[in-house]
A and B are shown apart, each in its own frame.
Chain A
């Protein structure tokens, strides 16, 4: 016998996203606020897909300058170089810091790209009410939430180097315009992921059980 999966929404209930209290929310009784913690309650995050897409599109646009503009300008007595994210990683690799190059490569190139693509996949599949691999898509969402913050790594490195390497005549490091765009990409993808409601992945599968 197949077990009927009862969802809160299917039974006219909804849970408070702050304290977890399960409340009745049907047409007759529709509480605007949770009686325990006074948060606004809603069955699904309101306008999840449109907020999430808007932030994602902004992130895609800024991803271009983030990768093309230099994020760090190093000038020393003999040389001047501008590093974009990728050239910074390559420079680290060439100078023999393979471990660090790998960490920076993962945090600043793989992770943002993974986030953008994963969010696109999730949004498109949710929009099409796809019933395709819900479990894997939920795992993808969790992984994305987990790794997203690590892209800030490069911003911190630039901050520290810029503040430290200020030996007037010998060497100076400045943060470049690319750092702003890159920081914005990280913040926008994080906000986009926060606006995504993973329950939307499961909703199309359960329509048939709706009471």
Chain B
């Protein structure tokens, strides 16, 4: 195999070849030519991400089980949760939109969180879960399609629009979604795939030597 032992990195955005340098904790390295972020040094990145993911999955379950919003017009009540909204659109023959909403707000975040835990929990217990490479590849591919934060803004816009028409009852899931928005950005900020690769490199070289 032709690994280059000297730590070289190529900028993802301008292909400049750079030599890896040590970065102070919580610091980040940027490309000298185009300023693209290259890598970060997040202390304790994997443990932190694991904790955040576990919290996020709890909130995610709450956000899916409980109603997000309810309205009341002249004594008639109507509440909906995430899945309810998706199913309703499906029945209304708006299948494409229904799928789009389902994928971006339910499936992708669910897959992202489960994979994150599947990846990080064994690493925490000093084991290597099978299929690490595949998981990291999928995580990278699906990341742009998880849109919980956009959905959260959508909920707020709908809430304001509905106050015109009726009494709005914010549901438990609304708060859970608010928390999830923060947690997803915290996960994105703390997760450092380079640490996983480094971990993988270390353990595989251990195996070779022993």
Spell out A's residues near B (CB within 8 Å): 5-11, 13-15, 17-24, 29, 31, 35-39, 92, 95, 97, 100, 103-104, 107, 134-135, 138, 141-142, 145, 149-150, 152-167, 170-171, 174-175, 179-180, 183-184, 187, 190, 194, 198-199, 201-203
Contacts of B202 in A (CB 8 A): none
B154 is an interface residue with CB less than 8 A from chain A:
yes
Q: Is the CB of B160 within 8 A of A163?
A: no
Q: Which 3 A-B pairs have the closest CB atoms?
A: A156-B154, A8-B10, A163-B85
* CA of A171 to CA of B164, assembled, Å: 13
Task: Kindly report which residue of chain B lies nearest to residue A203, judged by CB atoms.
Answer: B15
B152-184 interface with A by 8 A CB criterion: 153-155, 157-158, 160-162, 164-166
> Could you pull out 8 A-B pairs where Cβ atoms are within 8 angstroms?
A20-B197, A21-B3, A23-B4, A134-B14, A138-B13, A142-B36, A157-B154, A164-B70
B57-90 CB mask vs A (1 if < 8 Å, else 0) is 0000000000011110110101110001110110
Total of A-B residue pairs, C-beta within 8 Å: 211
Q: Are A39 and B137 in contact (CB under 8 A)?
A: yes
A171 near B165 (CB under 8 angstroms)? yes
Q: In whole angstroms, what is the CA distance A6 to B10 when docked?
A: 10
Q: Which of chain B's residues have a CB closer than 8 A to the CB of A10?
A: 17
- Contact B151–A156 (Cβ < 8 Å): yes
Residues of B with Cβ closer than 8 Å to A?
1-4, 8-10, 12-17, 33-36, 39, 68-71, 73-74, 76, 78-80, 84-86, 88-89, 92, 94, 96-98, 100-101, 104-105, 133-134, 136-137, 140, 144-145, 147, 150-151, 153-155, 157-158, 160-162, 164-166, 193-194, 197, 200-201
10 extra interchain contacts, Cβ-Cβ under 8 A, other than A150-B153, A198-B12? A13-B4, A18-B136, A29-B2, A37-B136, A150-B150, A152-B150, A159-B85, A160-B68, A164-B158, A198-B14
Contact status B13-A103, CB under 8 Å: no
State which of A11, A141, A190 has its C-beta within 8 Å of the C-beta of B17. Answer: A11
* B165 & A15 in contact (Cβ 8 Å cutoff): no
- Please tell me if the beta carbons of A149 and B147 are within 8 angstroms of each other in the complex: yes
Give complex CA distance A150, B101 in Å. Answer: 13
Contact of A7 among B15, B80, B101, B153 (CB under 8 A): B15
Q: Which residue of B lies closest to A199 (CB)?
A: B15
